[in-house]
Structure 1
């Protein structure tokens, strides 16, 4: 199956959009299904760099699920990726940010894919459907938060 791809334009510079959108400690502020996130690795001062791991609790289908991801790519202000390392559903997420309006704004593209382990294989179609429906709302939240300046 192909990845789920969502793009949104945000009237903030790429560095700001990238820093906020790729900081796992901020995910619960704009992602509808995130309950909490904690650093699962040993990054300095809670930093989330390449190789760092974070554990996310998400509300999925009325229950809470915990999953750990490892950051596999960080190109500051441009691209970021993380790969699921445990659980029956293992998300792979990517973010790319490019300047628009001579750098006054940004176009952020989010890519989502999933791998299933055990029972997770059977759940993949449901998870993909929920992501395709929920991601655009989360990105609208991201845009509203960043453009409000809060």
Structure 2
């Protein structure tokens, strides 16, 4: 079982941070390993919305689809994928924090087969990458960076 949770303070209003982070179209801007994100369902984002991602991890291109399983705008987003050898759940939470926002990013999953062995060394890598991603998000939202417009 992989269970990684990281958090960061972003000096922007919670509504602004949550709207930006919850929009899958912004994912390639702040997730270093995500190269594309495409909504597969129309209408406003909500429970049941699906997003196809293309990412690179450990030198391999990965394609996977996340489904929104819980969405409380401005508070919490839970996305889950059951496909592939490494089913994952990603959770974003946003809370008011000293005039800004505390964003928590959680990733959990239960690898099977070969991926079970990979899971032992993946947790520290996921933790390091999510810290970098949250720092990148902070830089973008606080106006300190012009990363991939």
Structure 1 residue matching 2:110: 3-state secondary structure: strand
1:55 aligns with 2:52: yes
CA contact (8 A) 2:87 2:111 kept: yes
| CA–CA separation in structure 2 for the residues paired with 1:145 and 1:49 | 24
1:93 aligns with 2:80: no
CA contact (8 A) 1:96 1:110 kept: yes
Partner of 1:15: 15
Change (3 A) 1:129 1:100: closer
Deviation per CA, 1:98-118: give whole Å up to 9, x if none.
1123xx410111111113244
Q: Which runs of 5 or more structure 1 residues have no equivalent in the other structure?
A: none
Runs of at least 4 residues off by over 6 Å: none
CA contact (8 A) 2:2 2:119 kept: no
Structure 2 residue matching 1:29: 3-state secondary structure: helix
Q: Which runs of 5 or more structure 2 residues have no equivalent in the other structure?
A: none
Name which of 65, 68, 73 aligns with 1:68: 65
Partner of 2:107: 112
Structure 2 residue matching 1:3: 3-state secondary structure: strand
Q: CA deviation at 1:2?
A: 6.2
Aligned-CA RMSD value:
1.8
How many residues in Structure 1 have an aligned counterpart in Structure 2? 145
CA contact (8 A) 1:43 1:49 kept: no
Deviation per CA, 1:53-107: give whole Å up to 9, x if none.
1111111111211111110111111111001131112221101101123xx4101
| CA–CA separation in structure 2 for the residues paired with 1:123 and 1:67 | 18
1:6 aligns with 2:19: no
